[in-house]
Amino acid sequence: MASKTEIKIAYGLAIYFLFVGVLSYTVFSAEKPETPVRVMFKSATGKVLFDHKTHTGDNGYGLNCKDCHHHPLEEEADLSSCGKCHIQGQAESLPVSCQDCHEADEIEDTEMVKRGDAFHGQCIGCHQEFGAGPIDCAECHVK
């Protein structure tokens, strides 16, 4: 049997290594990537997981950011998410953010599509045109 001193040393070492492990995890945590690796979109018809790496990677479809993100400013860092403009439930009126990039007369009679409609138009159209990626509802939307 182990003596009380050996048990105290074992517990002390366990606590020490636990402390060092937690401290190392918090201090040396991984940096957040510039673009999200995966994005989960929630909708009434189920969640849709979008994987940037599959779409932009050399082993994937090899798309450029501007192939999907339209109206970007000069820098790729200026690309904003779809939800900034395509607001859920707002199909009739244009959000104020449109005038951050567009002149008022340029968007005067433009109808803003909802985010879901914008995704369907862009994603499914691309999948059908190039024969890559899912095209049936249940292949993207999961409960």
pLDDT digits (tens, 9 = 90+) for 42-99: 878 888 888 888 888 888 788 887 777 765 555 555 566 666 666 655 555 455 556 6
Interatomic CA distance for residues 20 and 12, integer angstroms: 12
Interatomic CA distance for residues 22 and 20, integer angstroms: 6
Token code pair at residue 96:
């104020």
Residue 118 is given by DSSP the state H
Phi, psi of 13 (to 5 degrees): -65, -40
Q: pLDDT, tens digit, for every residue of 83-117? A: 666 665 555 545 555 666 667 776 677 676 677 77
Q: What is the pTM of this model?
A: 0.52
Domain coordinates in residue numbering, the chain: 1-30, 38-142
**Architecture of the structural domain at 38-142:** Alpha-Beta Complex (3.90)
